[in-house]
Amino acid sequence: MQPTYLPWLGYFSLINSADKFVFLDNVKLEKSDWHVRNKIKSGRQELMLTCPVSTPKGRMIATIENTQFVSANPWRRKHLKSIAESYAKAPFFSSLFPLLDSIYNDESITFLAQMNIKIIRALMDYMNITTPTFIASELEGVSGVKDARLVSICNELECNNYLSPVGAQAYIEKESPGGALVKNDIEVFYQNFTHPKYPQVKGEFISHLSVIDCLFNIGPVETVKLINTYTGTHTHYQSLSV
């Protein structure tokens, strides 16, 4: 999966379901996508937090791994302030906020992928999710584009099953059921995750926010219980392709 900013619960469901998880960082950046933004709940409404990034050589050649933040923009302080104001009264604020504060104030983090992966791994540790993670750009011997690259990554990590979000089916199976993965004897499964409801600080429940909303409100132990409870049996590619 591409390393996204403050991912939602389903992202961690995917990580928790896998034996090995790969951050696909050496792919094209989409400035309007979840690579650079995500939502929290502020009062009774959702609030979008967006990271300003620089693409001096143009968006067409910018990848997640080589994209840097706009250094003059005080977005880190603004994001931390928004998070603090939104969750100061949440039950697990004093437990989680210092972890985020330490990452946002780390001036050595200047690249988008670096920040996103740091946050995701820190939240995994906070939830005691122990799935081994790898960074695609650091894997040797990986080649190809699109689903051929996925095949190469699976071969490098000696994996014969590939778990994907269902939203990637059209991408994987553009040419044939299961795509290049199945052609190379790698079975494809699609994630089944139903977003649960949980207590939130104010107002009616808002779904599909960053995982930190759930963590601030019910804590790491109960969040993982929700992830496990609402992660269904993964669907084999043939069940969706016929």
More confidently predicted of 103 and 142 = 103
Render the burial of 206-226: b for 16+ CB within 10 Å, e for the rest: eeebbbbbbbbbbbbeebbeb
Output the DSSP codes for the chain: ----SS-BHHHHHHHHH-SSEEE--SSB--TTSTTSEEEEEETTEEEEEE--EE-TT-GGG-BSTT-EE-TT--HHHHHHHHHHHHHTTSTTHHHHHHHHHHHHT-TT--BHHHHHHHHHHHHHHHHT----EEEGGG-TT---SHHHHHHHHHHHTT-SEEEE-GGGHHHHTSSSTTHHHHHTT-EEEE--B-PPP---SSSS---S-BHHHHHHHHHHHHHHHHHHHHB-PPEEHHHHH-
Of all residues in the chain, the percent with pLDDT exceeding 70 is 98
pLDDT tens-place string over residues 112-125: 999 999 999 999 99
Question: Tokens in use for 6?
Answer: 């403050």
pLDDT band per the 50, 70, 90 thresholds, residue 59? low
DSSP β-bridge partners for residue 133: 21
pLDDT tens-place string over residues 167-198: 888 888 888 888 899 999 999 999 999 999 99
More confidently predicted of 146 and 136 = 136
d(CA 4, CA 1): 8
The confidence score (pLDDT) of residue 242 equals 47
User: Of 73-87, 127-141, 174-188, 213-227, which range is least confident?
Assistant: 174-188
Decide if 209 contacts 47 (C-beta within 8 A). no
Q: Give the start-to-end residue ranges of the domains of the chain.
A: 9-241
